[in-house]
Structure 1
Amino acid sequence: MAHQTLDIEAQALLQLRALQGEDFARAVEAVLACSGRVVVMGMGKSGHVGGKIAATLASTGTPAFFVHPAEASHGDLGMVVPGDVVLAISNSGESDELAAILPALRRLGVTVVAMTGRPESMLARHADIVLSNRVEKEACPLNLAPTASTTAQLALGDALAVALLDARGFREDDFARSHPGGALGRRLLTRVQDVMRQGDDVPKVFAATPFIDMMREMSIKGLGATAVVDEVGKLIGIYTDGDLRRSVERGHDLRTLTAGLAMHAMPRTIRAEALAVDAAGLMESARITTLLVTDVEGVLVGALNSNDLMRAKVI
């Protein structure tokens, strides 16, 4: 039965593709020309699907929300204003609750797009544009419970949202702005300056600093590295925990070293305004765990390591 259900619904989607043509294009154009919002309506299972379609539209650049048709008859119709587009969903096209508010929608002058499985239905006759989600049969053995038809509605809603997304030139950074709490939002909205260490939290020494004092600065600041700067604060090098291990392995007399003699010159850096995800990519490609942050003149302004990026959930 599970296999049969999936086969019926898959076949319904394949047939749905052939039903979309000029009316689908007109629906996209109507939404693009809309000066208001897309108001999605539907009863029962169609209403549940409508809520998801409204959420998908809203998250992909098309302002949209769901209004329950029964509540619309008791005041919520005030949410619909001239300039909106109403997407009314009903498989039968004969929903009494939708029928009751169609005259009011007409008086408002909004564009009504019907999504229905019956092009000859009441809803289709009173709509400006009709999107067909007709299916041959439901996956339910009784051919009663909305199954294949709701899958078709959901897929058709996704097709509409994706077509609109593409037409608007909606990109990853746009998506991130509407998902600031999600992983993608953090990756595309978090800047280096939001997570880097600044001020006294940044370990730094001068080239003449004795090796033991450099080690003390690294231990106090806990970054696993220290920047080496000149008298005006410009970055000239870096010394890391890894450099310390290599110095010991090579048998260097650490007591005679200064920061300038021990440092690694011309370290990799990044700007404060860069995306934190770019800092993570630079660390990964260079196989390093610490990055120093400089301004346009090369002055040290911050530092961060992989732990900072992990705490910010960038990686």
Structure 2
Amino acid sequence: MEKLNSKDKQIYDDMKQCFVDLGMKIIKEENLPDALRGMSTFEYPGYGGVEFIFVPSHNIIDLSMRYADFQRDKLPALYELLNLINLNMVNSHFCVEPNSRIVLLRSGMNVTGYFLNKIDFKTLLGQVLAAAHTFFPLIAKLQLNDQTVQSIMEELIKVSISQMPPEFLEPNGKMNEPKKSVEPPFIVHACADMPAFPTHTHGLTELGMPEFLIDHLAFGGNQNGGRINASYDYFTKPENKGKLEAIKNGETVKLKDPDLMPSCEYPDPHVYCYRRVYPEFEMVKLAYCIESPDDIDPAMWFVQIYVEGDDFALTDEYYKGGIKW
């Protein structure tokens, strides 16, 4: 049994506040041996609400919604329908509990660091609610109306885009093909232990670009990596290459979430600062194990990404001996 500390409870409280901010109520809470669990309302009471669990030992948040138990003879058609829907889902998926035959909508995210990224959590929660609002009524048709899978999928395509998760339909109203992720041409190296080293890149020098670094505790390894990838995409656009040159010449360039990820909505966007740093800086030395000038390629140069206001992340002292809570 793992003892839950104040950090774990704060993350759980932040989760609850996100539900409240979205106009939902917390109707049940429970302390498990190694996790914190709660239940919130959903606008369709018959769907049983949204269950949310935080498991500190694995740094995982799990979101799930239950809906209906299906007759055994309809399970093959149900599996076919859910597989077709899941092909187009990105951050969540539908499944069936084997014994109860209850349909589940499940999603989740990692929490790496000292706090919950409320913007990302609200975005994920909104996607789960949108998926439930769109697909549960269609799944019910398989059980209640004896519709075929084909007729349900045809009806699915006709659902208005405003009711659909944005990744499900193309602008022409047709179902899109599952998106294939493209691996970036560099490596993001993140730390899983504490004390930690900064999240940083390898391989950008070969592309004629700087290596990026960001404080491990800024957003945690996974989310830091996403911001580094978004930064790479931004600075490789022809219209933005001048900004990279400005950073190389000593300027600090500031960007916001919409600059890096314009397809997402951010009610309170972060301001990201990009500044050139040098091998003598403790952050760079820690990330790239630099003990002498001979340890690095002379062609390498480095850009630190930090959130505006996090002045502590600009000091050598912060990185000495590794990043700590």
TM-score by length of 1: 0.27
Q: Bigger relative contact order, structure 1 or 2, given CA contacts below 8 A and separation 6+? A: 1
Q: Which has the larger radius of gyration?
A: 1
Higher strand share: 2
Higher helix share: 1
